[in-house]
Amino acid sequence: MFRMAWGQLRGRAGRSVALLVGVLVATTGFVVLTGATTTSRLEVTGAVERETRSAYDILVRPTGARTPLEAEHRLVRPNYLSGIYGGITLEQYERVRAVAGVEVAAPIAMLGHSTSRVPMSVDLTDAVDRSLDRQVIRIDRTYVAERGLSTAPGRPEYVYVTRYPLIYPVIEPDTMGSARYTDGRVYSWSDECGAVPREVQPDGTSRPVCDPRSAVVVGNPGWSEREIWRVLTARLLPDGRFEVTHRALGATVGAVDTGPTTVSQLALEETLTVPFLIAAVDPDAEQRLVGLADAVVDGRPLNTADTLTDTSIPGFVPDRSVPALVPSRPFLDGAVRTRVTRLPTARPAGLAPTALDGALRRAEGTPAGSAEIDLAASYRGMLAAGLGDDAFDSCCRGQLQVLAQPGPVDYERGPDGTLRIARVSPPDPAVFGDRTEINLLPRPWLSDDTGSRRVGRLVIPSDEALHDWRAVGVFDPDRLTGFGELSKVPLETYEPPTAEGADDRSRAALGGEPLLPSGNPAGYLSAPPLVLTTLNSVPKLLERAGPQRDAPISAIRVRVAGVDGYSERSAERVRLLAEQINRVTGLDVDITLGSSPAPQTVTLPAGEFGRPELRLTENWSALGVASTITEAVDRKSAALFALVLVVCVLFLGNAVSAAVRDRRPELAVLACLGWPGRRIAALILGEVALLGLVAGVLSVGLAVPLGATLGIDVDWRRAALA
């Protein structure tokens, strides 16, 4: 049989060589293609294993914290923490820590948005006409946010510049209703004007220059910063310099005045009220999770012993402070545009509060300049001045009397899959305080906009003492460690959410830039926690603050021991640990290992201050994407293997069928000579098997060097099997 098969192959050399070449090409192609597919699969899986290593593998939240949209589509919304204020007890946290296999369990307790002041300097030096004895400089303010799409005017402010001498009040802790001035006399003062400088007239008498901001503060708790208006006073000296006081530069109400000083530039200190989201963390756990202490660039890190302490000054209202870390940049979009006008005929000295506003508004003026002051630049300038320890104006501090607590956004999904905000919330002026609460800071101007979130409040009673936070250090979020490039957005605690325009109209409105958090607690994009204090401070701070006192923790981020990236073994280890945490605590548990950004299109309704309706693309987090990727790659590889094999089988089947059709007379003669069908089939298949063997051996020798030339790792065992 073998000799006959060999003779048949030699007798039909052309057909045999063609079939041999065909089998050789098909086999070599199969080996090289499967090698290429295997290489691709390993590279994709390797990238997943390297880049999906996040700071934590498991996210533990209070029971019911998942929104229906998250639960249905296995998503986590950006900055999910912004709508969770407590819900996990300290005892539940200890249970999580005690689970075997937990390497780090880092709790975070969201407290709410605390208002703080960011100074913004307006240089008025060139606006002063040095030929005039007296003049008023008017500053018209326009507040700007959301890439310039939201704008709102504020009341004008004024600086009275005079060459006449000024006398100043000496504010003492027990002084009420009257004050001793720098000329040695005692003058009375009222709530409408406060203790203000007095201008000495040529006849030796003096007239007060009323500053109405005291009346705004005292008579209108929860006032908006747009409502504030001031009349500040400075003296133009014969040498061209200016005599001012600390408060005359624009310092906050209540600041201790250290007396007049001489400056070469007249700079007004505007202030922007900024809501910073404050959260409490365990410093040791946060260091192990993301290296928080290593990211401190000024001051000192937090330590577990930091807690609420008494920082009162004798004679003033009792004050308690918690230590805090602040970020090196604010993650907020905002600015103030100023237009400066000189009023040469205005004379505010001696005017009663009721007549002052009208007289200044009616005065004719001359334009004297304009500027736009950026919030981020002003914040960096504030940090550059140093942390300091001044009781009133040190950098940086904020009130903890009334904290705004915005909830999650309610979405509805359209037929095309686009998300739309299902419910908008009208502004609530009382969010940052009313007549029953003490908050010496105004509410942010953008809080008067229609919101995307319903906002609650955490009120810390102030009958015993005022509460605030004070920065002891500055950390740089870019120096935090513990996550890969693909996984840090948007699950990370310290990453701000951004949203790109999803259509040409929205991109044009945003100027090609992403939309950033605006600072409005009720706004759609919520900034990450920008102020961090210690979990040890929370029990004392919240001892009279309601249900959040008993369950202060909002989430626990868990890193599993022995997990360095995504793999089937790691995924199973994390899954078992997540099940155990759920079993011992009853809390909502999500596996974040292998999560990846999952873009969602969101329609944002128009705002009250000029922002049009926008379609935005926002990165959410899809859970378990790494597993989906690797499984999909394996299925693709298997499908390609099968397709290549099918092609080879079809080619060989066609070649054999052609050979049989060509030899039908010869095979008929053999049948007439008594050859049974199985012997004829064995002859044909023997010829093909012989060709296949020779072609396979040749393909092994050809595929290996060909794969090396193409940069493909060819497995010789797979080649031999083929």
pLDDT at 253: 39
124 and 44 together in one domain = no
Per-residue buried b or exposed e for 341-364, using 16+ beta carbons within 10 Å of the residue's own CB: bbbeebbbbbbebeebbeebeebe
Residues 16 and 162 grouped into a single domain = no
The pLDDT of residue 629 is: 57
252 & 357 share domain: yes
Same domain membership, residue 33 and residue 148: no
Cβ atoms of residues 193 and 348 within 8 Å? no
In a domain, 414, yes or no: no
Q: Looking at the domain assignment, is residue 456 inside a domain? A: no
Which 3 state secondary structure label does DSSP give 393? coil
Residue 101 DSSP SS3: coil
Residue 39 and residue 185 in one domain:
no
Verify that 11 and 129 share a domain, yes or no: no
| Residue 296 contacts residue 444 (beta carbons within 8 Å) | no
**158 and 24 share a domain?**
no
Whether residue 399 is contained in a domain is answered as no
Same domain, 29 and 158: no
Alpha helix locations (H) across 68-138? Answer: 68-73, 90-98
683 C-beta neighbours (distance < 10 Å), count: 18
Cβ contact 474:387 at 8 Å: yes
The answer to whether 306 and 537 are in contact (CB under 8 A) is yes
Close Cβ partners of 113 (under 8 Å, ≥ 6 residues apart): 275, 276, 277, 278, 403, 404, 405, 406, 521
Return d(Cα 532, Cα 470) in angstroms, integer.
10
Please check whether residue 622 lies inside any domain of the structure. Answer: no
DSSP string, 244-310: E-TGGGTPPTTPPP---EEESS-EEEEEEEEEEEEEEE-HHHHHHHH-TGGGEEEE----TT---EE
- Angle between helix 2-11 and 677-710 (nearest 10): 60
pLDDT of residue 685: 77
364-403 pLDDT per residue, tens: 999 999 999 999 999 999 998 888 665 445 578 899 988 9
| 412 in any annotated domain | no
Identify whether the C-beta of residue 26 lies closer than 8 Å to the C-beta of residue 633: no
**Tens digit of each residue's pLDDT (9 = 90 or more) over 36-93:** 665 555 455 555 555 555 678 898 999 988 777 777 777 777 777 778 899 999 999 9
Q: Answer with the one of 323, 358, 383 that is the final residue of a domain.
A: 383
For residue 17, give the amino acid letter: V
One domain for residues 35 and 180:
no
Residues 40 and 139 in one domain: no
The pLDDT, as a whole number, for residue 94 is: 96
- What burial letters (b/e) apply to 124-154, b meaning 16+ CB within 10 Å? beebbeeeeebbbbbbebbbbbbbbbbbbeb
219: Cβ–Cβ under 8 A, 6 or more apart, which residues? Answer: 191
Q: Identify the three-state secondary structure at position 134.
A: strand
Domain assignment present for residue 533? The answer is no
What domain range includes position 271?
118-275+331-383
Kindly state whether residue 489 falls inside one of the protein's structural domains. no
The SS3 assignment for 596 reads: strand
Q: In terms of domains, do 39 and 178 share one?
A: no
Report in angstroms the alpha-carbon separations of 489 from 103, 325, 467, 518: 22, 22, 34, 19
Query: Do the domain assignments include residue 619?
Result: no
Counting as low any pLDDT under 50, the low residues of the chain are 42, 218-219, 248-256, 391-392, 486-490
149 and 240 together in one domain = yes
Number of domains the chain contains: 2
Which burial class, exposed, middle or buried, applies to 376 when counting CB atoms under 10 A from its CB (0-12, 13-18, 19+)?
Answer: middle
Domain boundary among 383, 399, 416: 383
Q: What is the pLDDT of residue 113?
A: 93
